[in-house]
Amino acid sequence: MPFPACVPELTDGVVRLRAHRPEDAARIVEQSTDPDSLRWTTVPRPYGLDEAHAFLKLIEDGWSADDGVRYWAVTDADDPDSRYVGTVDLRPRGGGAAETGFGLHPEGRGQGLMAGALRLAARWWFGEGGVRVHWSATRGNFASWRVAWSCGFTHHGTLPQLLPDPEGGAAVDVWRASLGVDDVMEARTPWADPPLLTTDEADGILLRPWRDADLEHLEARDQPAHHMPARGVLDADTFPEWLLARRERMSLGVMLSWCVADAATDAALGEVLVFVTEGTLDDDTAELGYQVLPSARGRGVATAAARVVVEHAFVPRADGGLGMRRLVAQTADDNVASNVVLDRLGFTIWGRETAADVLPDGRAVDALHWELLRD
């Protein structure tokens, strides 16, 4: 059948996939010139109706070829006009594998439409004999990853400097993930969004998600290197990459990181986190960590912030907590301030690594291993 009759219409009752139409061109232009589309995709710049019509011709040619790219227009199933709100595609790669790509018009975002569209496209591919769908996106494109994550894609890691920067800068890193024919199309790991946590008013702090603007409150590192790996230290020079890595690990369900903020000014004072090195935060044991900016030390900030996170960690999942059974921590023997915090919280030392770190002056320092069990 010729285009558009050859395009199968797919729906789950919430979202509908249909063939693209000539009248979609204006909304394709709106989508392609949106700041988020320009930030995360390689759409031509500038983008006008000529580019949209060329794209529509490309879509028709894809469906006309036996092994061509399969594009669908995404629409709201309840919209009687079936207005265009985005595109999802499958690009055959041979051997039953395909690459997927997708994008939404600003009006279609935040409604779960693209996750439904991706599931419909993937089911169609598997029904046609396909065995795997691959996804990729520029590192940091959490909106795209959240769609793939919610559809059951497994994150396979980051390929460094794989694609050119749309803005002409250095090549950018790319995330990769995939979905197999036998995989359940729902999230396989938790997405760890840190909830707002408050402490007693006397503590004068609150715990909230990190913001890009917290950079302005950061200070230079002043602690010994063996107290915390450099990549984990809050520092103005490395904060953008530090924050991206934190958010990345939270999206994989292996870390929760809170900004400890001054309750009166909202200025960042430090960090408290829980994390795992194996498995996810769906398990029953995690590690506690914390750090405080130099100017905020001596006020009990670390103890107060860590205490509220410990309490949250031990609250059952059914009641909004993390449902942990056991928390652990590791410190250097000479990190007196950090050791005092854990002692105040009721942690006990269960192990010691002799001469775990050798300092530049040749002195060896032991590492202490702590634990705290839920009552």
Q: What is the DSSP string of 38-96?
A: HHHS---SS--HHHHHHHHHHHHHHHHSTT--EEEEEEETT-TT----EEEEEEEEETT
pLDDT of residue 164: 84
- The length of the chain is 375
pLDDT of residue 219: 83
Strand partners, 356: none
**In CATH, which of 3.30.300.30, 3.40.630.30, 3.40.50.300, 3.20.20.140 is domain 197-373?**
3.40.630.30
pLDDT of residue 105: 97
197-373 matches 10-180 in CATH topology: yes
The candidate with the shortest Cα–Cα distance to 136, out of 114, 120, 159, is: 159
**Over its length of 375 residues, how does the chain's per-residue pLDDT go in tens digits?**
899 999 999 999 999 999 999 999 999 999 999 999 999 998 999 999 999 999 999 999 999 999 999 999 999 999 999 999 999 999 999 999 999 999 999 999 999 999 999 999 999 999 999 999 999 999 999 999 999 999 999 999 999 999 888 777 889 999 999 999 999 999 999 999 999 999 888 789 999 999 999 999 888 777 776 666 667 778 888 999 999 999 999 999 999 999 999 999 999 999 999 999 999 999 999 999 999 999 888 889 999 999 999 999 999 999 999 999 999 999 999 999 999 999 999 999 999 999 988 888 888 899 999 999 998
pLDDT of residue 226: 65
Residue type, 251: S
Alpha helices in 65-154 (DSSP H): 113-127, 142-150
pLDDT of residue 277: 95
CATH architecture type of domain 10-180: 3-Layer(aba) Sandwich (3.40)
Q: Where are the domains of the chain?
A: 10-180, 197-373
Residue type, 217: H
| pTM of the entire predicted model | 0.93
